[in-house]
Amino acid sequence: MSAPIPPDGGIFQVRVQAEPFDAAVESARLSTGRTDVGAVVTFTGLCRADAGAAPLTALVLEHYPGMAEEEMARLLAEARSRWPLQGAVIVHRHGRIVPGEPIVLVATASAHRGAAFAAAEFLMDWLKTNAPFWKKEERAAGDRGAPSAGGWVAAKSADDDAAARWTAPDDAR
């Protein structure tokens, strides 16, 4: 499911999907056929394995269909209001994701690197605290190996701190 944002000379898109994505293809789309783009920053978040008695076998991502796309579009609009972006794509997967697979992609394009770097970091920081997705851990020794309730990953205060650096979107959380 995707929620395209009215373009003004560039690709601005958010997508929520179960399928894996190709980060190279997504970021190439932002500069293909144009000569005014000076910087493309691509961030890919991956499912990371961990060691221990009950190693992680997968993350299962639940999301709020409809709101997830709308919230990602609102974050993208906020980024566009802060930096002169020439294009941006956010892709977030849901469902079962095994270690090594990609979970989330943020790609930003701008004339200069400063805006592209800053907007990409801003989008990731706010995605983590505002986009309605929840991770549940699946572990080798059963699905109850995680420290939090029933395998659900607990929100990290470090993520709140990271998001707060940019000041809250609407103080709504």
Which residue shows structure tokens 């293909």? Answer: 32
Site for another protein in 1-30 (CB under 8 A): none
66 lies in the binding site for another protein (CB under 8 A): yes
Distance CA 173, CA 170 (A): 8
Q: Which of 62, 101, 121, 143 binds another protein (CB under 8 A)?
A: 62
- Alpha-helical (H) ranges within the chain are 23-29, 67-82, 113-130, 157-164
Half-sphere exposure of 126 (CA within 13 A, CB side): 26
Cβ neighbours of 78 (radius 10 Å):
18
Site for another protein in 103-162 (CB under 8 A): 103-104, 124, 127-136, 149-150, 152-155, 159
- 64 touching another protein, by CB under 8 A: yes
Minimum CB distance to another protein, residue 30 (Å): 20
Region 73-102 residues binding another protein, contact defined as CB under 8 A: 92
The tokens describing 133, both together, are 């997705």
Give the distance, in angstroms, between the CA of residue 156 and the centroid of all CA atoms in the same chain.
16
Residues 6+ apart with CB under 8 A from 2: 13, 14, 15, 16, 69
By CB under 8 A, name the one of 23, 29, 70, 121 that touches another protein. Answer: 70
Q: Is 38 in the site for another protein (CB under 8 A)?
A: no
Q: Which residue, 10 or 139, is less far from another protein as judged by CB? A: 139
**Interaction between residue 57 and another protein (CB under 8 A):** no
For the bound state, the minimum distance from the C-beta of residue 85 to another protein, rounded and expressed in Å, comes to: 19
- C-beta of 160: minimal distance to another protein in Å? 8
Residue 39 or 153: the one with the smaller Cβ distance to another protein is 153
Is residue 151 helix, strand or coil? helix
Find the helix packing angle between 113-130 and 67-82, rounded to 10°.
Answer: 150
- Can you give the binding site for another protein, defined by CB under 8 A? 45, 61-64, 66-67, 70-71, 92, 103-104, 124, 127-136, 149-150, 152-155, 159, 170-173
